[in-house]
Structure 1
Amino acid sequence: MAAGGPAPGEKFPLKAGLVTSLGFGHVSGLIALVHPAAFLATLTDEERETYLAQAQERTLAGKRRLASAIAGGRPMYERPADRRFDHDTPEKPQEAAMLLNPASRLGDDDIYIR
């Protein structure tokens, strides 16, 4: 117990929170974080069993992927080609035009349109 009352989270343990990123003028996001136990409590027994089995598979796949990268396999990060821009035009001018145009939107084909 902290002086003057309980430690942060002790009296009312956190189960969820929101994290925002304002980015650098064009990239922003909002992420909802939920304590794993709070998430699991919302599932039926069957859903929980399926989820936990799939989570274990994802964990094992991640460990195998890391071991492969360490041993000289594919790198852990590969920059996506064209980053949703037209591949026939240089990327930097397209990115600048997209950032400066308030009407720019991501089209149905996952390419930025102006």
Structure 2
Amino acid sequence: MLNGILQSLRTGLIPGNRNADNIDRELETFDYALFLSKSVQTSGIKAGLLKSFGFGQVGGELLVVHSDYLFATLTQDQLEKYNDRLEKRDVKASRYWQDTLVGNHSFVQVKSHAPFTAEQDKSVYLNPLARAKYDSKSGEYKF
């Protein structure tokens, strides 16, 4: 669902529900409820609200705001630094994808063990600031 909201924020396209063919008449009387069966292209979406209702009355809610509003709060210098870092990430991601396509490694590299020892697990789980660091010599993440 989050991926769908992110795509809608990026493209302005609101996907329709192709299976919305038997909406109860009572629901159709609300002025602000919209039941789309076809996609709608907008000039842009500013935000999206994601609601998830789980088992046992447990649910979550997430407000996703378009990145333009975040970037508008940055100074020119901060924005340039961010764009430089973004460009470097894009180059690394492209290189990784190319290496995957030519068979240098698999796309998903499954870990065989946690990046911490059994003795460290309590301190890792109880420390919200605990972060693993990549060790280029071993090719693994470690504490």
1:10-61 per-position Cα deviation (integer Å, ceiling 9, x unaligned): 5xx5323343566899xx9765533221121111111000001111111111
Q: What is the match of residue 108 of structure 1?
A: 123
Instruction: Report the Cα distance in structure 2 between the residues aligned to 1:43 and 1:107, rounded to whole angstroms.
Output: 38
2:92 aligned residue: 61
1-structure distance, mates of 2:67, 2:84: 15
Q: Output one character per residue of 1:46-97: Cα deviation in whole Å (capped at 9) or x when no partner.
A: 100000111111111111100011111222212222468x88xxxxxxxxxx
5+ residue gaps, structure 1, are 1-6, 88-105
Task: After superposing the two structures, state which structure 1 stretch, 15-24 or 52-61, moved more.
Answer: 15-24
SS at match of 1:109: helix
Partner residue of 1:37 out of 38, 44, 68: 68
Residues in 2 aligned to 1:62 and 1:29: alpha-carbon distance in whole angstroms: 31
Q: For residues 14 and 62 of structure 1, do their structure 2 counterparts lie closer, same or farther at Cα, with a shift above 3 Å needed? A: same
Q: 1:9: how far off?
A: 5.3
Task: Tell me if 1:80 matches 2:111.
Answer: yes
Counterpart secondary structure, 1:76: coil
**TM-score, normalised relative to structure 2:** 0.42
Alignment of 1:49 with 2:80, yes or no, is yes
- Distance between the aligned counterparts of 1:73 and 1:29, measured in 2? 40
Identity of aligned residues (%): 24
> Structure 1 residues 15, 73: CA separation in 2 closer, same or farther (over 3 Å shift)?
same
In 1, Cα distance between the equivalents of 2:113 and 2:53? 24
Which of 1 and 2 has higher RCO (CA within 8 Å, sep 6+)? 2
Unaligned runs of 5+ in 2: 1-39, 127-143
